[in-house]
């Protein structure tokens, strides 16, 4: 039973030495059972004040194929619908005691354009 949303991962088909796309035909695949949450930056200094929302955090199942050059598309109908860039490297959640890996966390920022 799916409990989260499905996102589409858009990956450039090939890249040049600078990391720029060589073709206009990207490869795509879907990742199911994802959770989206706001991502804040900054600290709370005064009572009642919060950090500034700078993007989203994507939580995806362990082993999800998401890389730092990918675009993530959240489908229409979701409050966060749109295209997002992966910011930095995806990080894996893993227990140092048991090795249990429940998933990965990916920082997203809205794509320009």
Q: What pLDDT, on a 0 to 100 scale, did the predictor assign at position 17?
A: 80
Q: Burial of 70 by CB count in 10 Å (0-12 exposed, 13-18 middle, 19+ buried)?
A: buried
State residue 14's pLDDT score: 72
pTM value is 0.80
pLDDT tens across the length of the chain (113 residues): 567 999 999 987 777 788 676 766 778 999 999 999 988 876 656 656 566 778 999 999 999 999 998 999 999 999 999 999 999 999 999 999 999 999 999 999 999 86
CA 65 to chain centre: 11
Which residues face 26 on adjacent strands? none
- Quick one: pLDDT at residue 40? 81
pLDDT, residue 41, reads 76
All domains of the chain, ordered by start, with CATH?
Answer: 5-110 (2.40.10.270)
What local confidence, expressed as pLDDT, does residue 27 receive?
Answer: 87
Residue 112 CB: number of other CB atoms within 10 A? Answer: 6
CA atoms of 5 and 16, how far apart (whole Å): 33
């Amino acid at each position: 039973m799916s409990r989260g949303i499905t996102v589409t991962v858009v990956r450039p088909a090939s890249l040049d030495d600078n990391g720029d796309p060589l073709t206009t035909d990207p490869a795509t695949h879907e990742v199911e059972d994802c959770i989206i949450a706001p991502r804040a930056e900054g600290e709370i200094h005064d009572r009642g004040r919060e950090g500034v929302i700078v993007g989203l955090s994507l939580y995806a199942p362990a082993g999800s194929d998401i890389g730092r050059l990918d675009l993530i598309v959240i489908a229409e109908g979701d409050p966060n619908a749109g295209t997002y860039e992966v910011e930095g490297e995806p990080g894996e959640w893993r227990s140092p005691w048991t090795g249990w890996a429940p998933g990965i966390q990916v920082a997203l920022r809205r794509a320009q354009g």
